[in-house]
Every structure is written in structure tokens, then in C-alpha cells.
Structure 1
Amino acid sequence: MKEATRRLVDTIIKTLTITIYYWFARKAVSIWEAFQTKAFWLDMISLLCILLFLYAGGIKLLEYQKFIVQLDQSPMLKGLTGFIAWFIPTVELIISVTMSVGMLHSARLFRWSLLAFLALMTLFTFYILAILFISPSIPCSCGGVIGEIGGWWGHLAFNLIFVGSSAYVLLAQEAAAPIPVLGKLYAITAVALIPFFTVGYLALRVDRKPGHRFAGFERKLPINLHEAVAIMELNSNSYYLAGTDDDHLYLAHPSAIGQLLQIRNDLLDSTYIPLSLPPLTYISVTTSVQPPYFYLSDGNSGWVYRGLLRDRMALPYLNGSRFVHAVPTSGSIVGFYGMQGMKNALGYYTSADTAINYRDGQLIEQGGEGMFSTDGRLVYDKRHGRFVFVYHYRNEYLVLDSQMNVQHTGHTIDTITRAKLKIGHNRSDGQYVLQESLMVNQLAAVSDNKLYVKSMLLAGNEDEGMYDRHTVLDVYDLDKQAYLHSLYLPDRRGHTVRALTITKNGHIAVLQGRELVMYPFNKISLRNDTGKRKPNTCLKRSRQHYINHLTKLITL
């Protein structure tokens, strides 16, 4: 398939070269004279439009299975991928052929073909804007060179260039040969209204709140909501939580692997700690802190470095074993979430080992979902020296000892016992892709025998508005395997919690957008909600308050 793609690109390049040569031969002018003529640039823009759709349509048909898998990942195209997969490339090829014929033989045919090109590119542009700003999730970008280099924003810039260029050619033709009023009406409808309403229809089909459809459980809801006691503004939203000690939080940044940001627990003081690192070849480095050590790990490169915080010197600790995620401890053991064969697995490593010791059988796959059904988050319980693995897509967690032996299995309060996933298979390269998923448990943290889980599902007794404006943390007792209660952390500037940890002084430290926020453990007072979902009591009191005041005004 790659060879066929290469031949297609070679053919397009040869076509472009021959066409440009033919243009000069037909006009019998020099290159410099051609560059000074408007006709040359109009023809070149038109030729590039033809070649764009020739390449785009051809590559979609040559990599048909891959194209279907990419379409299936879009939340806006559910149920339409079978039709779109052949309709779009067919239309692109037809437009490129009719534009070619029109350039040589018919100005009228060329004008209408270019109008169709502009309409389709406008449709693609509206779709990208909807994906970026409306869609609840952003899938992998479409294939091709532009998608691989620039992603969705690269696609958007590329499309805007071609929309503007083709519109320029149409306006130049309009100046030379004006279009009747009725034709202009058709053109406006085709270029603007049809793409706009088409993408609007696709956007309306999107289920923006899939977590609201599975309310077969209830939460113990707090009356007193948590309010921030300290906030620190960061200069980037790319910081992540690296760890804690008795008095400090440690943050790291993916583009600054040679330093840590040390922040006092009250968020009133911070300092950068430079790390002494050897020359490293890395792909994706994660920095972790478990006093007295700091760790640098790169699962793609297969190495882990460790050093003491007091001397800041990183030394080789593990090399040659690839993994997904490393979870260091304060001792000599590092826990790992990685792959063994074609399955996800949990493992551990000590300084006496030569490779990661993966355990078989702890992560149980479900049905045809394979390794995707065992995605999850591994966290470390420092006080009890054990690990906890929380599944992302089902209501289950594992409590494991330091050597990844399962001590017991627990369940979160929701009803999703089986992962709700849709897996796509690209037969051309054998790859499997996660197309649709229902996230159940997104984040997790452990402290004082309690497990804190960020749940993505609405409970039956929760108010939708309150749920949508807060991050919900469900709290579990690990030894008793019991659900205790839930916490509400308010969104800040539209940002939900993206990382959390529990500090030594008993606060919840979270990252929300570009802010590090500290929430206290208030004394929890629980609402006694049972049965059907009830409105928020604060809202009820507020409405009654206004009714009483309105009654007094009427009686005056």
C-alpha cells in the first residue's frame, strides 16, 4: 500500500511538471514574463486545486480501510462512515477531472467545477472548526502529509489557504465575465449555506454528555461544597504533578526535563530545582518524585534514571525494557504498567533485577475489546507500601502488593461492569484503533487508606447543572472495600481537574488549566438523597426567597 501511495505521488508530481512545461510552451513566454502575468498565477492556483483533489481522492481509495477507521473515530460521523468513505473521494476525483477538462476546453465547465471545489473545501473547513470547538472529543487527524505534520490546526490553515485561493480565482473570472444574479445566488448557496447547515446537522447529532446516560446508581452528596484555600497561577498549562514530600509539591514540564518546580504546600513560595542529567536520547520523558529520590522515565526509549533529591544527580537505573507508565516508590521498587506480548500487564523492578518482572493474569480482558478494555491508571499507596490499579472503562480497581500480587479487587459505585468500547481494525496495516469509548474513572489518587477517583458518570440523585460545573471525586476505603462519600471540586475558568494528589497537610492539590489549586478536607456533611434525582437545595431556597420578596411587593 505504501508503494501504491508513492506511485500516486510520483504521478502527480510528473503531471504538475508536464503541465507547467505545456503552459510555457503554449504561451511562448519566459519564466520571468510569466511570473508577471495574472493569468499564470490563476492557472497555477487552478492546477494546484486539481492536484489536491486528485491526491486526496486517490489516497482515500488506496487506503480505504484506514480511511474508514479514521472516520469512525469522529463523534460527528456516527452511522455515516460507510457512505462518506466512498462518496467523498469519488466527488473529489470527479471535481478534479471536470476542472481539468474545463481548463482545456470549457470555461463554463471549469467555473462550475471550481465552485464545487470551493464548496467542498468550505464544508471541510466548517467540519474542522466544529471538531476543534464544538465536538466533545478530538479524534486523530485525517491521514496524508498535512495531517501527519500539522494535525487538525494544520488542516485548518491548509484548507483556509485553498479556500481563499480558489475564491480569488472565481472572483477574477467574475470580473472578466460577470455571472447572472441567479447564478450568484446558486453560488452563495453552494459555497456557504449548504456546508454550514450540513456541518450544523452533524454537530447536532453528537452526544456531548455520554456520561449522563448511565445513572443507575446514587452518590452520597455533600452539603458543604469545597472552596479553594490557595491558588497559584502557572505560566503554562502543560505542567504535571511529579510528586510530594512533607512540605512541598513538585511539578514538572514536558519541555524542561532538566528541572523541577518545587512549591511550598501553602503555595506562597516556589523555586526551580536544576537536575544534573547525562546526555539522553528520549522521546517522551516523565519526571517523578518519591523522596528521597527523583526519577526520569521514558517508556518509548525503555529507560529509567534515578537520583537523590539532595545531590540532584540522575544515574542509570533501568535500561532496555519498554513500558507505558512507571510509578516509583520511596524504596528500591518501581511499579510499571506496560505491555507483555499484545496484552497490557502490571510489573515491578528492583535494583537487583535485569528487566521488568511482568505478572500474567491480573488485568482481565473483556470480549473483543482486547487490550483496550484493560486501560487504566496505576497509583502508589506510600503509607501501606502497595499499588492500586483503577480501570478506565469499567467499575473496578485492584489493590496489589509491592510485587504486583493482587490482594483484593474492589468496585466503584457505578454500574458499568463491562467496558463500552468500539474498536476499529485497519486491515491494510493490521492496527487496531479505539473509535468510541465511555470513560468511567479518569483520575485516581491514594492517601491514608482512601482511594480518590474522578468519576465521569452522573448519578441518579445528582443535579445535572451541579455535576457539569464540578469535578466529582468518589472516595473509597481500600481495606473495607467500601464507598464512603463524594467530593465536589468546582471548575475554574471552565477548566475541570486534570491532575490531583493528596498533600501531607491533608489538602487536595489539583491542576486546573494553568492554575495549581489547593482544596481543604472539610468536615463532610452528607445530604440524605434517595430515590429520584432531586434539584439542588440551594437553588430551591433561592427560588423561595425570591417568591417571598415578590409577595411582599405585591401586598404593599
Structure 2
Amino acid sequence: MKTKFILFVRYFLVLLFVYAAVSKLVVFDEFKVQLTQSPLLSAYAGSIAYMVLLIELSISLLLVLEKTKLLALYLSYGLMVAFSIYIYLILNNSDFIPCSCGGVLEKLGWNEHLWFNITVCIFTLLAIYFLDTKAKSFYFFSVLLTLISVLIVILLFVSSEHIIKKQNPFIRRYLPHGVAEKDTLDLNVNTFYFSGYYKDKVYLGNTRSPLRFISVDSLLQREDYLIKIDSTQFKYTYLRLKTAYPYFYLADGSIPIVYKGQLNTTQKTKQTEVFSFQQAYFNDFIPIDSTSVAIKGQSSQDYKNVLGVINSKNTPSVSIFPELLQSDSDGVFDSDGAFSYSQSKENLIYSYYYKNKYFITDKNLVLLKRQNTIDTTKTALITATELASGERKMTTPISAINKKVVVKNNLLFIVSNSLGQNESKAIWKQASIVDIYDFKKDSYIASFYIYHLGKEKLKDLIVTDHYLYGLFDQKLIRYRLAKSLTDKFD
């Protein structure tokens, strides 16, 4: 009876390992991608993919041979313990649970898979007990293999997490359901952009009609507003609306004037006052609080980008911080980027467009730390030529790797324009990719897809307490954020 049981376990394991190995070989590239998405083994996906196949096939061969059957059973037990600990860690210590693995167990969920593995471990251990005539060696090697298997998986997990979150070699881990599409609102025109939010209400400016804006609440109810300014004689070229509840700001940096108004009034026509006049030219700005606005401009001497703050309480009201921007070449395109502001953390984040860097300051633009994204583009690969006027023109245009950056509390949401390791170019024809970072912990969290709306790509987004809103041509789409993301808000 014992002999038949041992034989049954041996050939069951051979069937299990060979079928699993062959299933992986048939779709080997997909298998490597699945390992890349593992919350525990992402950093070692390439090596582990080959090692698992080699180990499964080698153990299968040893199981068939009579002389090595005991060794093979011990190795099988150790391997199944490692698989079991791996699944346990995914279920209990992972930021998210990926899709179940393929092969012979493709129909099982993770919990069922864990119980299957535990059952196989018990049967394998029982077969070893019947086969190994020396009780001391059985107990010693069983305990030793259990400890070694557990230790190996835990060490792989800890080191992989450190690499992915701190030293990422551009390996993305995708949340299976990072966002779920909920509702759609037809805006009728395609000239809106997000200017800010308050709780779950978003505000949208209009590039074609800069003195008009709308709000959309949690029920997707739209309200239209008109902005009244006194100085209409200026030749504005690009008036932009930014909101920082309860205030809104309207500015065109080519005209050195910033208007300020209040959102928390019942009037449909919003009155404004001059917040700043003839104090600074700029090409981008972001409100910080009721008295200060961060700006990005260009030096009048060398046209290089500079950052500054307009503070209505200070004298002088404008402070410039030329040392903040780090340049690799021309100081114009390679240092170009955009501001985000976390009101809850009172931090400004400046993200470079063309390289994998961003930095964090306090509300007074005092540098706190510099950090990197998982993209491997460390230097902006841009060539430019200087015009007679002294301005510079890009001669080899390239796409921004950080197309759009928004912040919510401690998290950065970056719409990336770069392919990571083991990623298919086909997906870029179907979706935009959003990478998420915790800028307070200096760590990469995960990524998710926002699929195109027909032929329309995502052109703008904003994140609120519970939702992500996306703009696609004339449509506003509201997505619910996964709990695994909202739990990360600090």
C-alpha cells in the first residue's frame, strides 16, 4: 500500500510539474510578463521565469528515476512550500492581488490555489515519510527544507520590493482594476481643461472662452459661470484658469497680471480683483494659497527657465529661485516641466517633461528633496539652436516622457509616454498609462491603464477624493478609484 502511494505521489508530481512547465513554455513571453506583474517578484521576473522551468523539469526527471526518487521528493516538497509561501504573501502582504496564474491551475483563485499547494505538500511529505527509513533524517531535512524555502521566498520578496519601489529598472506593475469607468458627461465642445477641484467637485476652464468656466459635481451636474475682469484692453494670448478652493486665479503670463476671485459665492458671474500687476512675466503658474502663487518663467538674460513665487504680503512680492532647476544642456527645454501642488501636504512638486526627475519644495519654494520616476531617461536628449533674438528652438522635437502630472495628497499620478520592460507596443494604441508614486515615501506604487474612448485619447485628468476624471475630446469620463489606491492617500 505504501509503495503504491509513493508511486502515485511521484507520478502525480511529474504530471503536475511537466504540465506546468509546458504550459509556461507555450506562452513563455506572457509568462514573463505575468511574473513582472507579480507584487512580490517583479524585479527578478526574467531570471525566475527560466529558473522555475528548469527546476520543474529537472525535478520531474529525478522523480522518474528510482535512484533519485527520495531526493526528488524532498526537492518537490521544498518547491511546493516555496509556492505556498509565495501565495500566502500575495494574499496577506501585497499592495494588490494580481490575476491568477495560468497552466494546470488556471481555473483556481488564489485561496483555492493555496489550499491545493498545501494539500500537495502534505501528500509529498507523507510519501517521503514512507520512503525515508531514517526517522532522524526525515525530520531534519523536512524542517530544513521548510525553513530554506520560506527564507528564500521572503528574501526575494523584501529585496524585490526594495528594488521596485526605490531602484526600479523601469518595470511596471499594473493594478488589475486601478480605475473603473462609472459615468460620462457630454461637454458639447472640446476646449475644456481641468483647473482644479474641491472634494468631489471639479472645475474646468475653457481655452476658447477664457472668461467662462464650469463646475461638475459628484452627480455630474454641470453649472456654468462667467468671470468679470476690469482690464479687458490688454491683448491676452493665453488666459488660464487655476482654482484653489475657495479662490480662483486667472492669468496670462505674457501680460504681467493675475486676477483673483472667489468660488464660494452664489453668483453666476464671478467678480475679480487684481492679485498681481506688472510684477512678473511667466509661462505657467499654480496657486498655493490666498496670498501666493508659484510661477515658471524665463530669465530675461539667457532665456533659461526659472521658478519663483509671487506673494502679495511680501515686499518685494516676487522671489526668484534660479538654482532649483537642474540643466543638462541648454537650460530651456531640458529643464522644462510643470508644477503640481498638494494642499494637504503644503508641498510643490515640479516634474520635468523630458527626464525621469522631479523635486519637492515647501510652499515658499525651499527645496526639500529631489526624486526620480521609474523611467530610465536620466538626461533630456534634446538638441536646440539659438535664434538671433537669443531665444532657443528645438531642432529634434521629442515627446515628453511625463505628459501630465497631477497630485492628490501624497500621491503623484503621471501620464507616461515611455514603454517599460516587457511591455507591448500594442497597448499604446489602446490606452494611456498612468504611473503612481508616493512622493512622501519616495516610492513607486503601481500603474494602470485608461483606455481610449474610441479614437479619442486621454487629453487631461484630475484626481479627487474618490474619483479620477478624464477628458476625451468633448466627453468627461468619471472613474472610481480602486480601494487599493484610496487606501494609499495619506
Q: Specify the alignment match of 1:277 in structure 2.
A: 229
What does 1:365-384 align with in structure 2 at a 5 Å threshold? 365-367=327-329, 369-384=330-345
Q: Specify the alignment match of 2:325 in structure 1.
A: 363
User: Structure 1-normalised TM-score?
Assistant: 0.53
What does 1:67-86 align with in structure 2 at a 5 Å threshold? none
Q: Which of 417, 437, 454 pairs up with 1:476?
A: 437
Q: Specify the alignment match of 2:244 in structure 1.
A: 290
Q: Specify the alignment match of 1:507 in structure 2.
A: 467
The structural deviation recorded for 1:512 is 1.5
- Kept after mapping to 1: 8 A contact 2:176/2:448: no
2:480 and 2:422 map into 1 onto residues whose CA distance is: 25
The structural deviation recorded for 1:519 is 1.2
Amino acid at match of 2:275: Y
Relative distance call for 1:351 and 1:425 in structure 2 (3 A) is: closer
Relative distance call for 1:523 and 1:256 in structure 2 (3 A) is: same
- Kept after mapping to 2: 8 A contact 1:421/1:438: no
1:483 and 1:516 map into 2 onto residues whose CA distance is: 28
- Kept after mapping to 1: 8 A contact 2:172/2:447: yes
The structural deviation recorded for 1:216 is 6.1
Q: Which of 351, 354, 360 pairs up with 1:399?
A: 360
Q: Does residue 343 of structure 2 align to residue 390 of structure 1?
A: no
Q: Give the 3-state SS of the residue equivalent to 2:177 in structure 1.
A: coil
Q: Specify the alignment match of 2:215 in structure 1.
A: 262
- Kept after mapping to 2: 8 A contact 1:306/1:317: yes
Q: Specify the alignment match of 1:553 in structure 2.
A: none
| Structure richer in strand, relative to its length | 2
Q: Specify the alignment match of 1:246 in structure 2.
A: 199
Identity of paired residues, percent?
23
Amino acid at match of 2:434: L
2:177 and 2:470 map into 1 onto residues whose CA distance is: 19
Amino acid at match of 1:263: V
What does 1:330-345 align with in structure 2 at a 5 Å threshold? 330-341=289-300, 342-345=303-306
The structural deviation recorded for 1:391 is 0.3
Amino acid at match of 1:326: F
1:291 and 1:343 map into 2 onto residues whose CA distance is: 32
2:202 and 2:463 map into 1 onto residues whose CA distance is: 10
1:302 and 1:283 map into 2 onto residues whose CA distance is: 12
- Kept after mapping to 1: 8 A contact 2:184/2:475: yes
1:253 and 1:332 map into 2 onto residues whose CA distance is: 25
Q: Specify the alignment match of 1:314 in structure 2.
A: 272
Q: Which of 451, 476, 480 pairs up with 1:520?
A: 480
User: Structure 2-normalised TM-score?
Assistant: 0.60
Q: Give the 3-state SS of the residue equivalent to 1:466 in structure 2.
A: helix
Amino acid at match of 2:225: I
Q: Give the 3-state SS of the residue equivalent to 1:500 in structure 2.
A: strand
Relative distance call for 1:435 and 1:265 in structure 2 (3 A) is: farther
Q: Does residue 426 of structure 2 align to residue 465 of structure 1?
A: yes
Gaps of 5+ in 1: 1-214, 526-556
Deviations 1:148-188 (A, max 9, x none): xxxxxxxxxxxxxxxxxxxxxxxxxxxxxxxxxxxxxxxxx
Q: Specify the alignment match of 1:132 in structure 2.
A: none
Deviations 1:223-248 (A, max 9, x none): 23633111111121111111111242
Q: Does residue 305 of structure 2 align to residue 305 of structure 1?
A: no
Q: Give the 3-state SS of the residue equivalent to 2:427 in structure 1.
A: helix
2:446 and 2:286 map into 1 onto residues whose CA distance is: 27
| Structure richer in helix, relative to its length | 1
Gaps of 5+ in 2: 1-167, 486-490
Q: Which of 159, 166, 170 pairs up with 1:217?
A: 170
- Kept after mapping to 1: 8 A contact 2:337/2:353: yes
Q: Give the 3-state SS of the residue equivalent to 1:419 in structure 2.
A: coil
Q: Specify the alignment match of 1:166 in structure 2.
A: none
2:216 and 2:478 map into 1 onto residues whose CA distance is: 12
2:462 and 2:328 map into 1 onto residues whose CA distance is: 30
Deviations 1:354-405 (A, max 9, x none): 44211121101112x3311001011111111111000000000011110111
Q: Give the 3-state SS of the residue equivalent to 1:467 in structure 2.
A: helix
Aligned residues: 307
2:364 and 2:391 map into 1 onto residues whose CA distance is: 32
- Kept after mapping to 1: 8 A contact 2:332/2:392: no
Q: Specify the alignment match of 1:422 in structure 2.
A: 383
Amino acid at match of 2:257: W
The structural deviation recorded for 1:410 is 0.8
1:430 and 1:391 map into 2 onto residues whose CA distance is: 23
Q: Specify the alignment match of 1:35 in structure 2.
A: none
1:415 and 1:523 map into 2 onto residues whose CA distance is: 29
Amino acid at match of 1:248: K
Relative distance call for 1:520 and 1:240 in structure 2 (3 A) is: same
1:435 and 1:245 map into 2 onto residues whose CA distance is: 41
